[in-house]
Structure 1
C-alpha cells in the first residue's frame, strides 16, 4: 500500500478517499493537497505522488473495446477474476475506444494476464506481454454486469476541449479571477491523462526489465510537475541505477558486465537499441525517430493507443528533479498554477511561443518568470520562497546529485516549511495577473537576470538579450536561444497586455472582457478589428443593414445600403485620423525625456484610437 493510502487509512479517512477516487476531478485534486484538517501533513511530497501513480499503473490495464457500451460486458468478465477499483473510458485520434481498468492489487492483475489468450496464431508475429490488450467478441453467451451500482468513472476522458464552449463559459464568469481559475480547471491535464502517461512508462519497463537490472522509466516535465495541459507531450527518462544492496562489496558473487566498445558514447548505442525495440516490440509505438548526436540523446515516438507524443532519454535525472521543484512550488499556493496557465496561454495567443524549437521563448522559462514574480516582496508580502531558502533548510535525506555532478539538493517536505515563508500576499488572481504584466513591463532586461534561486534580480553575466538562470545549474541560461527581436517583442507584449487588462476593467464589459482579449488568437483579434465600425467596440451586424420596418429588400436596395454604410465608416475613419493628426501636432510641443518615452506615449494614444 502506498504512503498516501497508508496515511489516510491511519487517520480514519478511508471512506472519504473512496468518494474522492470515484470522482474524476476530485481524484486528481486529492493529489495536490491533503485535507485541510490534516495539519501535520498539509502537503504531499513529489515522491509520494510518483509512488501513488506508479502503483496505480502496476495495477492497471488499457483494453481496446468496441464502444463505451462494452463497459458492462468487460466489467462482468474481469470481475470474475479480480476486484475492480474503477474503469475509465476514452477514444484516441482514430476514433477507437479504450478503457483503462484499475484492479485492487497487483496480484489480481497477474491473474487476469494469466487468463488472457496469448496471441493470434495466424499472424506472423513474435509473442510479447504488454499492459495494452483488446477485448474480442465472446463466442458464447455474454457476461452480465456483476453490480448494478458500478459505472464508468470517466467517459470520453481525453476529449479535445471545445474552445467555443470554453470561451462562452469565460464570458459568463463574474470576475477575472474566476476566469483564470476556470481556464485552469478546464485545460489542466486530468486524472485520466496522468494515468495513461504512467501506463506508457510502465509498458516500457515491462519490455526493458529483461535487458537491464533495476530498470525504471519515469515521466518528468509537464506531465507530472502540475503545469501540464491536456494533450501535452510526455517526457520519459530511462534509468537503471544500482542500489547499495546490489553493489555490496562484501558479496563475493558478482554479475559479469558487458563493456561498451566503439567510438560513440555507450548510451548513444543503447538508445539506438531502444529505438529498435520500440519499433519491433512495443505495441502502439509509431513514428520512431532517433536523435542520437544531441547533448542528451533521445528517441521520439508517438503512442497511437493513448494519443501521446513521447521523448525518451537515458538517466536525465536533473529533469526529474526539476519537475519535483516545480511541483513543490505549485503545491505551496493554489494561485501559482492557474496564473502560470494563463500566462502560457497568453504567450501562445500573441505568438511569443511556438510549437517548434527556435529563437523564441518556451513554456519552461515562462513558468520560471511566473515563479520569480511571485517571489517578489510587495507591500502585501510575497507568495513563494526563494530556492536559496529551500536549499538552506534541506536535510540529509534531501540530498540529490544528478548526472554531471549537478547538485539538486533542496527541502522536499513542504510540511516543515514555516508558514511565514510563503503565501503572505493574499491578493486575488486578477490583481496578481495585472501586477505580473506591470512588473515585467518595467523590468530591466538589459542589465538584470531572472533568478528564482535568489528571489531577486541579479546582474547578467553576459550580453544575451534574455537571461533566466537555470535553478539547478546556475551557470546556465534556460533562455539562451531567445533572439534580440523576440526579447523586444516580449517587452512590447507585456506592456500591451498590462494596458489591455487595465483598460478592460474600466467601464462596461465588451465581448472580449477580462482574459478573453489576452488569450484570443491574433488572427481572430485582427478580424474583429476589421469588422468594427469606426471607433466603437460593436461588431457589424446584419441588422445594421436594414431598418426595422424593411420587409422586402431588393438587390439594388441592399447594394445602396452597403454603399451608405461604407461611406459612413470611411467618414468616421477620416475624422479619427484628423483628430489624431491634430493631437499629434499638439504633442510635438511637449518635451519628453527621450525619444523612447515619446514613442511610447504616441503608441498608447494611437492604440486607444484604434
Structure 2
C-alpha cells in the first residue's frame, strides 16, 4: 500500500491524498513512499531541482495567436502525445504563449519529430529548441475545433496585481500579519514562472550540449531559493558534470579535451551561441572582466532577463542553503514572507536600487532577516555552524577554489528543537526586526549566520555581513558609510511608525502600507489632503482656478510668463476646488510651492 505525499516548497506543509487533487497545479514534487517509511515534512533542494528539470524535459512553449487557440492546439498535439496540462501566459509584447507539459519525455520527442521548418523564406534557418510556434491551418479547412473536454491549467499566468490593486487588497486585510502574508502570496514566483525559468535553462543546455559532452545549465539565486518575486532576473550557471558512466575506468576510449583558456572561455562561446542558436535570446551583453564573469541576455518568449555564469557552484550551494533555512518556518511562508516585507520596505525607503552601487542589495537584506530569526531564547532558525555539525558523508560538497560548502541537506534529520520554537505573529516579528537593528552595534559588530550571534568586525567597513559559505568575505562591502547611516535611521523610523500604526488602528496608510509606500507618494498624499476629511483632492480640481483657461499653447505660455513674478515669492498660493467651494492653500516652504507650481504648469501645457 502506498501513500502519496505532496510537499509545497515554500510552506513545508504535508498534504494527504484527499487534498492532492486540489493543489496539483502548484505541486512542487510528489513523493511515493511506503507506509512503513518515516514521514517526511521537507523535501531537499536536490529533489526540487530534479523534479523541475524533469518537468522541463517533457515541456514545450508554443506561440499562438490568442488564448482562444487552446482547443485547436490541444486537439492537434493530442494526435501525437498525451498531454498532462497546458498553461497560458503573455510576454511584455502582449504575444500569447502556451506551455504544454506532456506525460513523458518520449511524448515530447514524438511531437518534435512532427515539427517542420519555416516555409516563407529559404534563407531562414530553423532552430531546434523547446520554443515553437503554431501556425494557422492551410486555408482554414483543417482546424481541429472538435469539442475539447480539457481546460487551461493556468490563464494569463505571468501577470501579477498592479500596485493599485495590491494596495487596495492590503487596505482590506484584517491585521498586519495578514498584510505581510498577502504581500508574499501575491508577489512570489508562481508555478508557471518557475517552469519557464527551468525551460530557458533547458534550452541553453541543449545548445551547449551540442558543443560539449559534459555540460549542465541550471538556475540558481532567487529563482530557486524560495525568495524570488514575480519578474525577478534568472541566474544561470554553466557547469561541467561528470557522471559515473563518463568516469567509468573500464572504458578505455576517452574524449579529447579542449581547455577554454580561463573561466571566460566557455562564456565567449556561449555568448555567440545565444546570439546565433537560441530562439528568443536578445540583447546579448558580455561582461567578462568582472569578479564573476557573466553574459547577460533577455529571453523574449519567456519574458525573462537572464545572467549566465560559468562554474559558479558556490552560488548554487548558497541557493540551496537559503532554500533549506527559509523553508524551516512552515507558517505559510514564514521567514520568506518576512523577507518580502523587509525588501519592499527597503525599496520604498530608497535603501535599495535596481542598479548596483554603494547601497545595500536584496541578498544582504535577506541575510539580515535570517540572522534576526536566529536570535532570542526561542530562535526560529538554526545556525549554519549547527547545520555543518549535523552534516553526513553524502552532504559533502566542494565548490570552485576548493571552497567547502558542506552542510546538512535534509531538514528532516533536524530535531524539532532546532527550529520554529517561536510562535510569534508576522507583525510581531516585523516590529521586533526593526527594533533589533535599531539597537544593533553596526560600528563594532558584524552579522554572522554561522555563529547566530554578532561577532567583532575584522575591519572598519561601515557594514559587515559574513558570507555563510565563504566566511572571509563581506557580502555588504560595497555599502558606504552614508548608506549605512541611512539604514540605521530608516529602521528606527520604521520601528516607530509600525508601533504607532499598531496602536492607532486602521487609517488610510495603516500597518504595512505606511512602510512599503514610496516616500514621494506618501508626501503627495499628505500635501493634497484637505482638512480632516481624509479625502484626496482630485488632480483635475487642483488645477482649476477662477481665471479663464487659455485656448492654445501660445496663450498658455504667455499666461505662464505673466505669472513668473508671482511665482518667485516665498509664500505661494494654489487654488483648490472642493465641491462648490474654492479655497487657496498657502505654502510657506518655497521648495514645495515650486514643485506644486511645476506640476500645474506641466498640466496646462
Q: Which TM bucket (shorter chain)?
A: 0.7 to 0.9
Give 1:144-155 correspondences, 5 Å limit.
144-145=145-146, 147-148=148-149, 150-155=150-155
1:165 aligns with 2:165: yes
The question of whether the paired residues in 2 share the 8 Å contact of 1:388 and 1:453 is answered with yes
Aligned counterpart, 2:292? 296
Aligned counterpart, 2:108? 109
The question of whether the paired residues in 2 share the 8 Å contact of 1:61 and 1:101 is answered with yes
Distance 1:81 1:18, change over 3 A: farther
The question of whether the paired residues in 1 share the 8 Å contact of 2:76 and 2:144 is answered with yes
More helix, by proportion: 1
Q: Distance in 2 between matches of 1:349 and 1:19?
A: 36
Give 1:12-411 correspondences, 5 Å limit.
16-21=19-24, 23=25, 26-27=26-27, 40-120=39-119, 122-139=121-138, 140-145=141-146, 147-148=148-149, 150-260=150-260, 265-334=261-330, 335-378=334-377, 381-411=378-408
CA shift for structure 1 position 244:
4.3
Aligned counterpart, 2:433? 436
CA shift for structure 1 position 538:
2.7
The question of whether the paired residues in 1 share the 8 Å contact of 2:219 and 2:237 is answered with yes
Q: Distance in 1 between matches of 2:422 and 2:397?
A: 31
Structure 1: state its 5+ residue gaps: 546-552, 571-610
CA shift for structure 1 position 330:
1.4
CA shift for structure 1 position 292:
1.0
Number of aligned residue pairs: give it: 543
CA shift for structure 1 position 69:
0.2
Q: Distance in 2 between matches of 1:371 and 1:514?
A: 22
Q: Distance in 1 between matches of 2:6 and 2:489?
A: 51
CA shift for structure 1 position 559:
8.1
**CA deviation map 1:75-95 (0-9, x unaligned):** 001111111110000011111
CA shift for structure 1 position 554:
8.2
Q: TM-score, normalised by structure 1?
A: 0.84
CA shift for structure 1 position 18:
4.3
Distance 1:465 1:554, change over 3 A: closer
1:521 aligns with 2:518: yes
Q: Distance in 2 between matches of 1:339 and 1:558?
A: 41
Q: Distance in 2 between matches of 1:499 and 1:387?
A: 32
SS at match of 1:251: coil
The question of whether the paired residues in 2 share the 8 Å contact of 1:350 and 1:522 is answered with yes
CA shift for structure 1 position 273:
1.1
Distance 1:210 1:531, change over 3 A: same
Q: Distance in 2 between matches of 1:131 and 1:512?
A: 46
Measured on the aligned residues, the alpha-carbon RMSD in Å equals: 2.9
**CA deviation map 1:392-424 (0-9, x unaligned):** 000000000000111110001001100000000
Aligned counterpart, 2:497? 500
Q: Distance in 2 between matches of 1:426 and 1:322?
A: 27
The question of whether the paired residues in 2 share the 8 Å contact of 1:59 and 1:109 is answered with yes
Q: TM-score, normalised by structure 2?
A: 0.84
CA shift for structure 1 position 468:
0.2
Aligned counterpart, 2:563? none
Q: Distance in 2 between matches of 1:420 and 1:5?
A: 24
SS at match of 1:129: coil
CA shift for structure 1 position 432:
0.2
Q: Distance in 2 between matches of 1:312 and 1:519?
A: 31
Q: Distance in 2 between matches of 1:309 and 1:7?
A: 29
**CA deviation map 1:424-467 (0-9, x unaligned):** 01000010000000000000000000010110101000000000
Distance 1:554 1:453, change over 3 A: closer
CA shift for structure 1 position 213:
1.6
Q: Distance in 1 between matches of 2:80 and 2:126?
A: 23
Aligned counterpart, 1:566? 585
SS at match of 2:23: helix
More strand, by proportion: 2
The question of whether the paired residues in 2 share the 8 Å contact of 1:271 and 1:298 is answered with yes
The question of whether the paired residues in 2 share the 8 Å contact of 1:212 and 1:240 is answered with no
The question of whether the paired residues in 2 share the 8 Å contact of 1:398 and 1:412 is answered with yes
The question of whether the paired residues in 1 share the 8 Å contact of 2:226 and 2:326 is answered with yes
The question of whether the paired residues in 2 share the 8 Å contact of 1:75 and 1:145 is answered with no
Q: Distance in 1 between matches of 2:109 and 2:21?
A: 24
Q: Distance in 2 between matches of 1:447 and 1:440?
A: 13
